[in-house]
Amino acid sequence: MAASDASPYRAPIGTHDVLPPDSERWAAVVGRFAERAARFGYGLVITPIFEHAEVFERIGDSTDVVRKEMYDFVDRGDRRLALRPEGTAPVVRAYVQHRPTPPWKTWYVAPNFRYERPQKGRYRQHWQLGAEVLGVDDPDVDVEVIALAHGFYADLGLRQVRLLVNSMGTPEDRAEYVEVLQRYLLDHAEGLDPEFRQRAEEHPLRVLDAKQEAWQDVIERAPQLTEHLSADSRVHFERVQEGLEALGIEHELAPRLVRGFDYYTSTTFEFASDALDAAQNAIGGGGRYDRLAEEMGGPATPGIGFGMGIERILIVCDAEGVSVGTDAPALDAFIIDNTGGEAATRLVAQLRDAGLRADRSYGGRSVKAQWKEADRSGAAYGVMIGPDELARGQVGVKDLRGAHGDKEQAEVVLEQVAAWLLQRAEERAR
């Protein structure tokens, strides 16, 4: 019986299970990212799911993710810990702790926890694929990091992805700009609701990405950060744009793009999908955080990276009709045994040892039930073995997916069945 909504035996609200066959798409997405990251020379980094809460306070104690959404708790040893709400701070913490030789190029796949209001594309546990590079402030590395993400969406076959880029300048540029912006916003608060004034006072930058219809006029005419960049910041940002152009990576300047964390400096970017609702259309985002390592007590070390939500990527794949890793049959062969199971035990081991994906039925089911199971398993071939076949030293093989056009059951010499199936698997992969 299915558990009711109120039952404790359901995944908590805002979380979900990933079951086969959907988990295969999931694994395919992660596998492609891993393969691409390796091509770029990035190594996998694995950090704990929880950290000392201070690690995340560095990402901005004025941000909602830290103030309102963190899963923090005191453990039995009176330590204040928090489940990771994002992936950058832990990687920087690991850098500061281990001091690997820069440049340190890493990638990760990890769950993140935010106490959000769940809706499609917004969850309390979501997974991110990400990359971080520590120890290089060369704008060419910004281009490399953006190219890593950009090419990944292209690898998946996504077409409706827009890249937005901005520069936050140095913290000094930003402080100067925030003052200008705040003055402007407060001068234009007349006639708008009290929340506008409050936000302008507390966190003027966050007014820029507000969705309130009534505020848009004022927001659109607001002074822009890119007009207040220092010469160094401007040169850096221009070089990033030139690099993107050199690689043919289309991008839009988005002077009002405000990323949700305080650690950002210099280049910031976001990938938006037009296949998603505007409120959740970010399928990836990132930027520089050149002061974060120092803020954690490490040596001054620039850094840049991005994170992309796996769930959102899969929603976009569905919306764009892109299939990921779902074309291949789930198994190369499923064994139907009529010897009481002994032949299946030997044959399935032999096929698996040969590198084939093979499965069998258990529990002494009828031959008919086993054929049904074979069909349901998604296997390319059903392989029949019974006393008659054994006596002839042969097995019966049947193309279950019609992928090879041979509908009838054919006989294959038992000794050669692994080689025969491998050849068929290769033909399918071609």
Contacting positions for ligand HAM (CB under 6 A) = 86-88, 114, 116, 121-123, 126, 128, 130, 132, 260, 282-287, 305-309, 311-312
Order of strands, sheet of 265-273, starting from the edge strand that comes earlier in the sequence: 43-44, 104-113, 125-134, 303-309, 282-288, 265-273, 161-167, 252-253
Q: What is the DSSP letter of 192?
A: S
Minimum separation from the CB atom of position 408 to ligand HAM (A): 49
Q: What is the DSSP letter of 285?
A: E
If phi > 0 it is left, if psi is from -120 to 50 it is alpha, else beta; for residue 367 that is alpha
260 vs 325 by CB, closer to ligand HAM: 260
Minimum separation from the CB atom of position 264 to ligand HAM (A): 7
66 vs 421 by CB, closer to ligand HAM: 66
Name the residue with tokens 């030139």.
Answer: 242
153 vs 306 by CB, closer to ligand HAM: 306
168 vs 189 by CB, closer to ligand HAM: 168
Minimum separation from the CB atom of position 98 to ligand HAM (A): 18
123 vs 153 by CB, closer to ligand HAM: 123
**What's the number of CA atoms in the CB half-sphere (13 Å) around residue 177?**
21
Amino acid code (one letter) for 177: Y
Closest to 33 in 3D by CA, of 342, 372, 284: 284
Please answer whether residues 58 and 296 qualify as being in contact, where contact means their C-beta atoms are separated by less than 8 angstroms: yes
Minimum separation from the CB atom of position 248 to ligand HAM (A): 23
Minimum separation from the CB atom of position 213 to ligand HAM (A): 24
Report residue 139 as tokens: 């704008």
Minimum separation from the CB atom of position 185 to ligand HAM (A): 24
Name the residue with tokens 């030997």.
Answer: 346
- Provide the b/e sequence for 399-422 (b: ≥16 CB within 10 Å): bbeeeeeeeeeeebebeebbebbe
153 vs 215 by CB, closer to ligand HAM: 153
Closest to 33 in 3D by CA, of 143, 110, 108: 108
Residue nearest to ligand HAM according to CB distances in the complex: 309
305 vs 382 by CB, closer to ligand HAM: 305
CA distances from 172 to 182, 241, 318 (A): 15, 22, 43
Minimum separation from the CB atom of position 256 to ligand HAM (A): 16
Minimum separation from the CB atom of position 38 to ligand HAM (A): 19
Minimum separation from the CB atom of position 55 to ligand HAM (A): 12
Which residues face 89 on adjacent strands?
none
Minimum separation from the CB atom of position 423 to ligand HAM (A): 42
The residues near 382 (Cβ < 8 Å, ≥ 6 apart) are 333, 334, 335, 336, 371, 374, 375, 397, 398, 400
290 vs 332 by CB, closer to ligand HAM: 290
Closest to 404 in 3D by CA, of 371, 382, 372, 374: 382
For 246, the enclosing helix (H) or strand (E) is helix 231-246
Amino acid code (one letter) for 75: D
CA angle 268, 269, 270 (to 5 degrees): 145
Quote the CA–CA distance of 154 and 152 in Å, as a whole number. Answer: 5
282 vs 347 by CB, closer to ligand HAM: 282
149 vs 425 by CB, closer to ligand HAM: 149
Which residues face 178 on adjacent strands?
none
280 vs 339 by CB, closer to ligand HAM: 280
Minimum separation from the CB atom of position 35 to ligand HAM (A): 20
